[in-house]
Structure 1
Amino acid sequence: MVELTDLERDALTELVNMGVGRAATHLSRMVSDQVLLSVPSVDIVSRDAATEFLTTRERSGLVAVEQQFQGSFAGRALLIFPEANSLELARAVLGSELTLAEIVDLEQDALAEIGNIILNGCLVVIANTLKDRLSISLPAVLRGSGGNILQDKNGTSDELVLFLYIDFSIRSRSIRGYIALLMGVSSLESLKLLIHGFIDGIAAPAPSVEASRNQHGADPL
Structure 2
Amino acid sequence: MSIERGELSEIEQDALAEIANLGVSRAAASLRQMVGEQVMLSVPAVRIVGREVAAKLVEGDNAPQLVAVKQSFEGPFAGKALLIFPQAQSLELVRSIVGQEHSLEDVIDLEQEALAETGNVILNACLATIANLLRRTMRMSLPSVIRGDGRTLFEVDAPDADGNLVLFLYIDFTIKNRDIRGFIALLMDLPSITALKEIVAEFIEGVEQQTA
Q: TM-score, with normalisation over the residues of structure 1?
A: 0.89
Q: 5 Å matches for 1:139-218?
A: 139-151=143-155, 155=160, 157-205=162-210
Q: Which of 7, 15, 26 is the matching residue for 1:3?
A: 7
1:204 counterpart SS class = helix
Deviation at 1:130, TM superposition (A): 0.5
Residue correspondence of structure 1 range 80-99 to structure 2 within 5 A: 80-99=84-103
Pair member with larger Rg: 1
- The Cα RMSD (Å) is 1.6
3-state DSSP of counterpart to 1:85 = helix
Q: 1:54 and 1:126 mapped to 2: Cα distance?
A: 23
Task: Return closer, same or farther for 1:167/1:8 CA change in 2, 3 Å cut-off.
Answer: same
Shift of 1:156: 5.6
Runs of 4+ in 1 over 3 A off after TM superposition: 55-58, 152-157
- Structure 1: distance between partners of 2:60 and 2:20: 25
Cα–Cα, structure 1 residues 86 and 18, in superposed 2: closer, same or farther, change >3 Å? Answer: same
Structure 2 letter corresponding to 1:87: L
Contact 1:58 1:82 survives alignment (8 Å): no
1:44 is matched with 48
Distance in structure 1 (CA, Å) of the matches to 2:8 and 2:139: 25
* 8 Å contact kept, 2:155–2:161: no
Distance, in Å, in 1 between the alignment partners of 2:133 and 2:108 is: 38
The percentage of counterpart residues that share the same residue type is: 50
Matched, 1:15 2:24: no
TM-score normalised according to structure 2 size? 0.93
Give unmatched runs, 5+ long, in structure 1: 208-221
Q: Aligned pair in 2 of structure 1 residues 171, 206: CA closer, same or farther (>3 Å)?
A: closer
Q: How many residues align?
A: 207
